[in-house]
Amino acid sequence: RSVSSERSIRARVPPMLTDLYQFTMAYAYWNSGRHNEPAVFELFFRENPFGGGFSLFSGVHDCLLFLRNFRFTEEDVEYLRSVLPPTTNPAFFQFLRELDCSGVTLRAVPEATVVFARVPLMEVDGPLAVVQLLETSLLCLVNYASLVCSNAARFRLAAGPDRKLLELGLRRAQGPDGGLTASRYTHIGGFDMTSNVQAGFLFGIPVAGTMAHSYVTSFSSLEEVWPQTLLPADGEKDPIDLISLTKGLLGRLCELLGAEPAKIHEGELAAFLSYAIAYPGNFLPVIDSYSVSCSGLLNFCAVAMALIELGHQPRGVRLDSGDLCRQSVEVRRVFKHCAKQFSVPVFESLIIVGTNNISEQSMMELSKKENEINVVGVGTHLVTCTRQPSLGCVYKLVEVRGSPRMKFSEDPEKSTVPGKKAVYRLLDSEGHPLMDLLCLSEEPPPLAGQTLRCYPLGQEAHLAVTPTQVTCLRQEVFAKGQITQPLCSDAECREKVQRSIQNLDPRHKRLQDPEPYSVALSDKLHKLIAEIRRGTSANGKFLLNN
């Protein structure tokens, strides 16, 4: 799979998948001889998505594969020559031909970690022109992956740990690549299955799906059922006429439930029979094409009981419209009734799949109401992230030639935190993350059990905290052209997401009105910002070399 991931990144995210201004800046740097100046950029987002208290950081592995493959082809260079002005020095194109990421070092929060707004998640250190060229592609690789993974994790929190979640957003997704990215990262975020076959093929995600309404409505009479017979599961006996068997059962069922045979749709029965004959071990029809209670449910029960008589195991039903909770309760009641009256214990374990424009809100309502839904399918609201369509990760310069850089802004929220940093996660005595602390990289790390003074972002006052445990949040994952840490599999990342969310204090993981998580600056970093703001330390060199 990692070979196919790498091939896929090379094809989908060549170094040309970037904004033109990265090349125009790179040329201007090169032209003035600054292209090899050491520079440091940081990547972060300013607000947790969906009004939540946390996010998940995803797409890091793809960034690493992108960095490892970063080379311009002759065709790329020819195209760039055609779009940059004719005055561009031809030697610049030779520079591009020889460019790679061997001078770049990346420190990043590991894939699928719970993260918070304003914490620098990646530090990209290397020659100025190269690290500038990487900006757009890195942002493109992490922004949507992290957003949709976080969205999936929220759906998982809303659904509770036991309900199975099926992603079926491909047809509504933002194009083919958006659809594929959504399937992959919603699986990592907590979904169990996808309807997307290519995602199953590429990433090993379990795929699921049976039939649409079109299959049901394409049939109008029992004469269209062909073949009409099915072999019993034990394979010993002769084929059985499934139509006659089902008709008999349907009659008994109507009597038992007091249902009107005249309301039962023959075409629907024909569709169910044909499907059951094709897939006797995977019978899970959609039962709301005409009427769940007057037709679909009865047709399902009759065909399912016929399958059971032949030794096969039907799986369940899908509801795709109306009040899913109420219908599921009714369906379950009939299943239990049948299990008893017809002595078919298999009916006790049939599953009910619900799919109907499910949003986070409706998932939460569903979890509160009485219902019998075992599997929920989610499409549009999951993959398009309707509540917030972009994460807004940014990539900001924090140091050049060893001296800190800071962007001021009239909007204080948009100012950047200067300097090359180390990021620590402080844990409390229960092991919950307590605060993320940003320090200058040359500062000694905070120590467990020792009280430190820090400045929570967005507040003037300082605070004293005593962590029980201190972890270093970022790791060096790429250096000298190589990936320096083993990449964990998507399955491992998926487990890590759940572990990492479980570890979060409930106050921060509430879906609505969560308590903000503290992100703070060290004393030294706070001082540096004050110096730069006062203009007494325009580039910070004096302070840093202290």
Ligand X SMILES: *[C@@H]1O[C@H](CO)[C@@H](O)[C@H](O)[C@H]1NC(C)=O
CA distance 487 to 425: 22
Q: Is the dihedral of CA 294, 299, 300, 306 positive or negative?
A: positive
* Minimum CB distance to ligand X smaller for 174 or for 380: 380
* Minimum CB distance to ligand X smaller for 50 or for 57: 50
Question: Least distance (Å) from ligand X to the CB of residue 170?
Answer: 16
Q: What burial class does residue 464 get, using C-beta atoms within 10 Å of its C-beta: 0-12 exposed, 13-18 middle, 19+ buried? A: exposed
Instruction: Enumerate residues 526-545 that contact ligand X by CB under 6 A.
Output: none
* Minimum CB distance to ligand X smaller for 69 or for 359: 359
Question: Least distance (Å) from ligand X to the CB of residue 430?
Answer: 37
Question: Least distance (Å) from ligand X to the CB of residue 362?
Answer: 7
Binding track over 291-320 against ligand X, x by CB under 6 A: ------------------------------
Question: Nearest to ligand X by Cβ — which residue?
Answer: 357
Q: Which residues in 417-449 are b (16+ Cβ under 10 Å) and which e? A: bbbbbbbbbbbeeeeebbbbbbbbeeeeebeee
Cβ–Cβ under 8 Å, residues 430 and 72: no
Question: Least distance (Å) from ligand X to the CB of residue 5?
Answer: 33
Question: Least distance (Å) from ligand X to the CB of residue 140?
Answer: 28
* Minimum CB distance to ligand X smaller for 88 or for 384: 384
Question: Least distance (Å) from ligand X to the CB of residue 169?
Answer: 13
Helix axes 324-341, 242-257, angle to 10 degrees: 100
Joined tokens for residue 499: 């572990």
Kindly compute the dihedral angle of the four CA atoms of residues 263, 266, 272, 276, in this order, to the nearest 10 degrees: 130
Q: Of the candidates 316, 326, 327, which has an alpha carbon nearest to the alpha carbon of residue 351?
A: 316
* Minimum CB distance to ligand X smaller for 128 or for 358: 358
Kindly compute the dihedral angle of the four CA atoms of residues 390, 394, 395, 398, in this order, to the nearest 10 degrees: -160
* Minimum CB distance to ligand X smaller for 126 or for 169: 169
SS3 of 168-179: CCHHHCCHHHHH
CA distance 117 to 55: 8
Question: Least distance (Å) from ligand X to the CB of residue 205?
Answer: 25
Q: Which of 244, 357, 451, 489 binds ligand X (CB under 6 A)?
A: 357
Question: Least distance (Å) from ligand X to the CB of residue 316?
Answer: 24
* Minimum CB distance to ligand X smaller for 210 or for 359: 359
* Minimum CB distance to ligand X smaller for 112 or for 382: 382
* Minimum CB distance to ligand X smaller for 35 or for 381: 381
Kindly compute the dihedral angle of the four CA atoms of residues 167, 168, 173, 178, in this order, to the nearest 10 degrees: 50
Joined tokens for residue 198: 């290519």
Half-sphere exposure of 293 (CA within 13 A, CB side): 13
* Minimum CB distance to ligand X smaller for 349 or for 357: 357
Percent helix, strand and coil across the chain, each rounded to 5? 45, 20, 40
Joined tokens for residue 279: 């897939």
Q: Which of 136, 217, 359, 374 binds ligand X (CB under 6 A)?
A: 359
Binding track over 127-146 against ligand X, x by CB under 6 A: --------------------
Question: Least distance (Å) from ligand X to the CB of residue 287?
Answer: 19
Kindly compute the dihedral angle of the four CA atoms of residues 410, 414, 418, 423, in this order, to the nearest 10 degrees: 150
Question: Least distance (Å) from ligand X to the CB of residue 358?
Answer: 9
Both ends of the chain: CA-CA distance in Å?
A: 49
Question: Least distance (Å) from ligand X to the CB of residue 359?
Answer: 4
* Minimum CB distance to ligand X smaller for 172 or for 432: 172
Q: Which helix (H) or strand (E) is 147 found in, with range?
A: helix 135-159
Q: Which helix (H) or strand (E) is 493 found in, with range?
A: helix 490-502
CA distance 60 to 72: 22
Residue bearing tokens 């036991």: 162
Cβ–Cβ under 8 Å, residues 430 and 514: no
Interface with ligand X: number of residues (CB under 6 A): 2
Q: Is the dihedral of CA 252, 256, 260, 263 positive or negative?
A: negative
Question: Least distance (Å) from ligand X to the CB of residue 381?
Answer: 6
* Minimum CB distance to ligand X smaller for 123 or for 288: 288
Question: Does residue 450 touch ligand X according to CB under 6 A?
Answer: no
* Minimum CB distance to ligand X smaller for 358 or for 501: 358
Q: What is the CA radius of gyration of the chain?
A: 29
* Minimum CB distance to ligand X smaller for 117 or for 292: 292
Q: Cα 441–430–522 angle (5° rounding)?
A: 25
Question: Least distance (Å) from ligand X to the CB of residue 158?
Answer: 14
CB atoms within 10 A of CB 383: 28
Residue type, 54: F
Count how many residues are written for the chain: 546
Binding track over 418-447 against ligand X, x by CB under 6 A: ------------------------------
Question: Least distance (Å) from ligand X to the CB of residue 19?
Answer: 33
> Which residues of the shown chain bind ligand X in the complex (CB under 6 A)?
357, 359
